[in-house]
Structure 1
Amino acid sequence: MPSRPAEMPIRSIARVVMIVVVAVLILYLIYLLRKPIGWVLTATFIAIALSGPVNRLGRHMRRGFAITVVYLGLILVPAGLTAIVVPPLVTQGTDLAQNLPQYANDIRDFVNKNERLRKLDDKYDITGSINKQADKLPARIGDAAKVLGDIGLGLVNSVFALVNILILSIFIVAGGRRWTDAALGLRPELERRRLRRVLDDTAAAVGGYVRGALTIALIAGVQAFIVMEILGVPFAAPLAVLAGLLSLIPLVGATVAAVIIGLVTLFNDFPTDTIIWAVWAIVYQQIENNVIQPQVQRRTVQVQPFIVLVAVLFGSTLIGILGAIVAIPLAASLQIVVREWWDWRQEVRLAQIRDPEGPQPPGPPGSAPPDDEGGTGIILPAT
């Protein structure tokens, strides 16, 4: 019997060591599989975002055909944007490089007409440096073409990942509801209803955010194109597409697009176009922040501004621009889970007050059921 007290600590230590080793192995396995795991998460996000249009079309046609139509639209829209952006970008970029010496001369003439700028130029030779760089730029078009070729090669290498992500998302859209129903069927009835509500609310929040973001991006691109066409700014179509895409980035995207377009106006009709664009950009951002965004996302994602800021900062720090884009729907999903957990806690408290020795409400989403209920606790995403 004296050996028994010594056996328990050894057994406990061995158990702790085993748990630590298994945890380290799991983390290492996740690290090795980080790329396909990222693909699966991206595919799940796309599937949730597209499940709304698929479900709506599925009411009027077979679901397989609805999935085909939605994914064809998903593929054709970027292809159409590329067809809009690339040809004029190449043509006008070449023209810009060839005409840049003339633009540099215009800047020099403008500086010579202003006494204060002329003194600064005499001291620092700003226009001389601009002229030298402008004269060299046409000869560097070949280097730029080489850089674009390298970028194209990188895009080709990314096609494999894109195809896999799309295929995974199609499988999730096609079978996600059946998988979710099968998993929820393993849970108790009351908990099943709560889990279903969490999954449905999360899917609605993600889909609503994506729809709202795309609507705002479309409005941002259209208004930028109209204003640039009125001002006669070059690269109007590519810059409008850029403004729409950058507006998908929360908080800073619209400002970055406005600054880029403002720099282009410097080469068109400075300072008139630059001043008009700066004033319009400020006015439009106020309209977007106070009118468009609240109206578009009023019935979709309801997240506090402080949570939005923190989520975007965390997401952008962890995984860059993609993290900033998905941070808000993730924050909305977390808010839904916390709300359901809080409601469950309140139900437990009320049940204990009414009947301290009676049965307790089911646990929060994902919690382990009582021993007599069984279940695996596996929860698949709702689509």
Structure 2
Amino acid sequence: MITSKIISNGILRALSTILVVGAILYFLYEIQTVIVYLCISLILCLIANPLVQFLKNKLKFRNSLAAATTLIVFILLLVGFIFLFVPLIISQANNLSLLDTNNLQNQFMQTERSIEAYFNIQHVDLNKMLKDSKITSAFGIGYFTGFINSLINFLANMGMGLVSVFFITFFFIKDQDAFKASARRILPDSNEDKIINSITKINHLLTRYFIGLLLQLTVVFILYLIVLLIFGNQNAFVIAFLCAILNIIPYIGPIIGTILAGILTMISMIGSDFQSEILPKTIYVLIGFLLVQAIDNNISQPIISSKSVNSHPLEIFLITLISGITFGIVGMIIAIPVYTMLKVILKEFFPNNKIVSVLTERI
């Protein structure tokens, strides 16, 4: 018989559970920055694994020396990355400071009249459109100065984050064996082997995935660089590098990179004739970037991604698409790593399930 006391106890337990879950979620929300640092450090640790193993096994480095050497490599890469972009920022700041928006607007009007005369289309008042949209004002030096100030503030705030990430990464690399030993003592005996096997497989597959991702970005960077060098683009190396980094975001990243390449190409040619020089060169660069994306999307990306995590290219595409629709850009970025982790866990704990066996037959 259900009494009021049983009902009240059930309500109290439900409320207690809700409060505990809410408190945990609130706590995780408050320390979200720390969680991001941990995730970034874990990814760096996975990427560094081949180098660490080489230093320890081939060169006989101790854990501390191997971790310190790997961290120095990361720091040097970061410093090189920063010095790559300083010249680009200075160059584009100078270009924007010399920009004559009235002249640019006149060049747009001349281009519009040429198009009208060729195609005999209905007149479109670009002059009014530009004024209404305030596009020309966006090219002012004041806008760029504000952007630079925001960038400086962002970099200043990221200083502590970089120190924290490198500090955590050092100990992740140095003491990863000790962490695994501690995990063995904490884990329940009944599932200890399954959990350890899952962690080992996940570590192996994600290491391959992030190394494969770096390989893919390198291929895209080289192709972008070739396109920009063919058309004599200023700062070709830096622009190609930045656009290649944007490829981390599946499908959307390449589009953003192509638009960015077009904008930087136009800015780098300020002072030239818009119709005969700037516009044709920009179109050629955009076509070249689209060809690179076609190669990457249909050849390098499916092959590298599928081989690194042992999944079918169509499977990778569908998971990325679904994650993007459900969780946006962040979902697209983390889709493959999370899906790989889930597959490994499911195979380890439910190996006899027919659906799981089909999905994980390549692992």
In structure 2, the partner of 1:206 is 206
In structure 1, the partner of 2:125 is 124
Q: What amino acid is the match of 2:151?
A: I
Normalised by the length of structure 2, the TM-score is 0.78
In structure 2, the partner of 1:43 is 41
CA drift at 1:231: 0.7
Q: Which consecutive residues of structure 1, in runs of 5 or more, have no partner in the other structure?
A: 347-383
Which one has more relative contact order, counting CA pairs under 8 Å at least 6 apart?
A: 1
In structure 2, the partner of 1:283 is 291
Q: Which consecutive residues of structure 2, in runs of 5 or more, have no partner in the other structure?
A: 270-276, 355-363
2:345 aligns with one of 295, 319, 337: 337
Report whether the alignment pairs 1:310 with 2:318.
no
CA drift at 1:271: 4.3
Residue pair 1:107, 1:127 contacting (<8 A) in 2 also: no
Within 2, Cα distance between the matches of 1:21 and 1:134? 50
Report whether the alignment pairs 1:231 with 2:231.
yes
Within 2, Cα distance between the matches of 1:18 and 1:266? 61
CA drift at 1:56: 2.6
Residue pair 2:109, 2:126 contacting (<8 A) in 1 also: no
Residue pair 1:85, 1:238 contacting (<8 A) in 2 also: yes
Structure having the higher Rg: 1
Within 2, Cα distance between the matches of 1:287 and 1:222? 12
Deviations 1:309-364 (A, max 9, x none): 22344443xxx55x542332112111211222320668xxxxxxxxxxxxxxxxxx
Residues 264/38 of structure 1: CA separation in 2 closer, same or farther (3 Å cut): closer
In structure 2, the partner of 1:328 is 336
Q: How does 1:266-281 map to 2 (within 5 A)?
A: 268=269, 269-281=277-289
In structure 2, the partner of 1:145 is 145
CA drift at 1:16: 4.1
In structure 1, the partner of 2:73 is 73
Q: What amino acid is the match of 1:240?
A: A
CA drift at 1:230: 1.5
Residue pair 2:321, 2:332 contacting (<8 A) in 1 also: no
When structure 1 is superposed on structure 2, of 197-206 and 285-294 the one drifting more is 285-294
Q: What amino acid is the match of 1:21?
A: L
Within 2, Cα distance between the matches of 1:17 and 1:134? 54
The alignment-based identity, stated in percent, is: 19
Residues 121/52 of structure 1: CA separation in 2 closer, same or farther (3 Å cut): same
Whichever structure has more helix as a proportion of its residues is 2
In structure 2, the partner of 1:34 is 32
Within 2, Cα distance between the matches of 1:8 and 1:142? 68
Within 2, Cα distance between the matches of 1:327 and 1:135? 39
Q: How does 1:1-383 map to 2 (within 5 A)?
A: 11-59=9-57, 60=59, 61-100=61-100, 103-116=104-117, 124-126=125-127, 140-142=140-142, 144-185=144-185, 191-265=191-265, 268=269, 269-303=277-311, 304=315, 305-316=317-328, 321=330, 323-343=331-351
CA drift at 1:265: 4.4
Residues 105/327 of structure 1: CA separation in 2 closer, same or farther (3 Å cut): same
In structure 2, the partner of 1:355 is none
Q: Secondary structure at the match of 1:233?
A: coil
Residues 21/228 of structure 1: CA separation in 2 closer, same or farther (3 Å cut): closer
Normalised by the length of structure 1, the TM-score is 0.74
When structure 1 is superposed on structure 2, of 281-290 and 184-193 the one drifting more is 184-193
- How many residue pairs get matched? 338
Within 1, Cα distance between the matches of 2:247 and 2:256? 9
Deviations 1:94-131 (A, max 9, x none): 1244154555554444444444389889751529958x
